[in-house]
Structures are given as structure tokens and as C-alpha cells.
Amino acid sequence: MSHPDSPFLVRPGTRAVLADFDPHGKYGLKKKEGKAEVKELNKELNKLQELLYATRKYSLLVVLQGMDTSGKDGVIKHVVEAFNPQGVCVTGFKVPTEEELDHDFLWRVHKATPRKGIVGVFNRSHYEDVLVVRVANLAPEAVWRRRYEAINAFERTLAESGTVVLKFYLHISKERQRERLQDRLDDPTEHWKFKVGDLDARAQWDAYTAAYEDALSFCSTPYAPWYIIPADRKWVRNLFISRILQDTLSSLDMAWPPLEEEAHGIETIP
């Protein structure tokens, strides 16, 4: 479900050009006010999630993609904090196992989609199959090329069965990535996060940008839109994500289920 007035929406059928989106801007916001707004939004989100759970009519799937250090883990903490953890299911997608590779690329993803009433969060996703697979040449072009269509058909199937799909590309600048990687090197408690392999991906920044632009352009649909979220500043990133979540959940057709017909008060129970 897309919100046509959001400046971060990739309008279905248009070409996404990442250079046209400023990853570093404050968009007229102030940090203190922004943080206060997030607090308020998160209270509303908590109630909306309860409604989602109580009505069991929809599920929400939040897909997170972005370059290394773009803040996927930070957004997960932010989202889980807003919600009741019992109603949230986070799934991370790593290098596929042998069993996963022996199936079609959507097999492991479909199994992880949220059931009705639940918020599912994907840390990486089926989009890796048109990103790293394309850039690192893990499959021939003829294979990854047809996946965009398969992804759209898959996401349409989800939407038609009541899963609201929101996809966030966390947009950081190359300069901010350098700083965050340097922080990982400088802080012994962050050394475990520093992977030499991430430098290969950084060296292929332009190839990843091209692959992302194709994925964002071909797969932003009215039923599963992509949003490009400015992510150099964590508080800006979190605020825009909370706003889109609130906007999306509050626009769903949900009403609190009524009391059971047989319920006539407490005293009727012996």
C-alpha cells in the first residue's frame, strides 16, 4: 500500500535515481522535536499493532535493505521497541544454505512471511537475489533478470492475501559509510562487526547503486512500494520510518472486535 504524497516513495513505473535523494538532509526537522515526535508515534504504533493482532485481518511485512552500515539493525531495534515483541517476528537472510540453494530463491522467504496479526521484519530479503547475486556474479544474467517479475508476482500474492508490504531502502552516503566502518575499527566492542568482505562491497559501490536502482525501479508497485529513507542521521531515519508505519497501519480497515454475544458481565459466572 503506497502513500502517494510521501517524498520518499518510488512512484511505481518511474525510474529511481539515488543521487536525487539526499541521504544527509534534515528535511527541515529539528533533532529534539524529531525525537519527541517519534515517541508519540511509537505510542500510536503500539496501539495499532494491538489492533492488527486483535483483528487478525492483515499482517505487515517490513523489508529492510541497504548498503553495509546503513542501519538495518538500528531500524530493527527501533521498530521492535515501538511494538510488543510478542507480535513481531524478525528474520535475517544470510548466504543461502545448501538446502536453500536447492530450491527456488523465494522458498526460504515465503516460509518466513508473517501470519495474520503479526509484524514481520526482514533484515535483507529476496532482493539479495537481484543485488549481491547480480553484482558478485553468483548467477548468470538470464537467471537474475527474470527475478524482478517473479518478485512482483510474489509480493502481489502476499498483498492479495492481506499482507501489507513496505520496503525501505536505507540510503547512506559513501562518506558516512566510511565513518561508520572507521568507528568499527576504532572501538574494540565493535570489532566483531567489521568484516573484511564488507570492503569488497564498498569497492563495488557503483555496481550496487546500479543494482539497487533497478530493484527500486522495477519492483516499486502500488501493492508493495519502495521508500528511499535518508539514513545518514539515525534520528531522521527512525522518524521517517515511524511516520510511514503509522500512516500505513492507520489507513487499514480495522475495528476493535466486539464483545462475545454470550458475555453479560462478570457476575453471571458462578
What residues make contact with ligand ADP under the rule CB under 6 A? 92-96, 123-124, 128-129, 132-133, 138, 195
> What residues are paired with 106 via a beta bridge?
none
> What residues are paired with 34 via a beta bridge?
none
Q: How far is the CB of 75 from ligand ADP (least distance, A)?
A: 12
Q: How far is the CB of 126 from ligand ADP (least distance, A)?
A: 8
Q: How far is the CB of 175 from ligand ADP (least distance, A)?
A: 20
Q: Which residue's CB is nearer to ligand ADP, number 133 or number 245?
A: 133
Q: How far is the CB of 52 from ligand ADP (least distance, A)?
A: 26
Question: Closest residue to ligand ADP, Cβ-based?
Answer: 128
Contact 193, 184 (CB under 8 A): yes
Distance in angstroms (rounded) separating the CA atoms of residues 89 and 198: 26
Contacts of 40 (CB under 8 A, 6+ apart): none
Cα of first residue to Cα of last residue in the chain, in angstroms, is 48
Other beta carbons within 10 angstroms of residue 170's beta carbon come to: 23
Q: Which residue's CB is nearer to ligand ADP, number 138 or number 207?
A: 138
Contact 125, 93 (CB under 8 A): yes
Q: Which residue's CB is nearer to ligand ADP, number 33 or number 183?
A: 183
Q: Which residue's CB is nearer to ligand ADP, number 89 or number 138?
A: 138
Q: Which residue's CB is nearer to ligand ADP, number 136 or number 153?
A: 136
Q: Which residue's CB is nearer to ligand ADP, number 164 or number 216?
A: 216
Q: Which residue's CB is nearer to ligand ADP, number 44 or number 100?
A: 100
Other beta carbons within 10 angstroms of residue 189's beta carbon come to: 7
Q: How far is the CB of 201 from ligand ADP (least distance, A)?
A: 7
Q: How far is the CB of 92 from ligand ADP (least distance, A)?
A: 6
Contact 218, 226 (CB under 8 A): no
Contact 212, 49 (CB under 8 A): no
Contacts of 122 (CB under 8 A, 6+ apart): 61, 62, 63, 64, 91, 92, 93, 109, 112
Q: How far is the CB of 136 from ligand ADP (least distance, A)?
A: 7
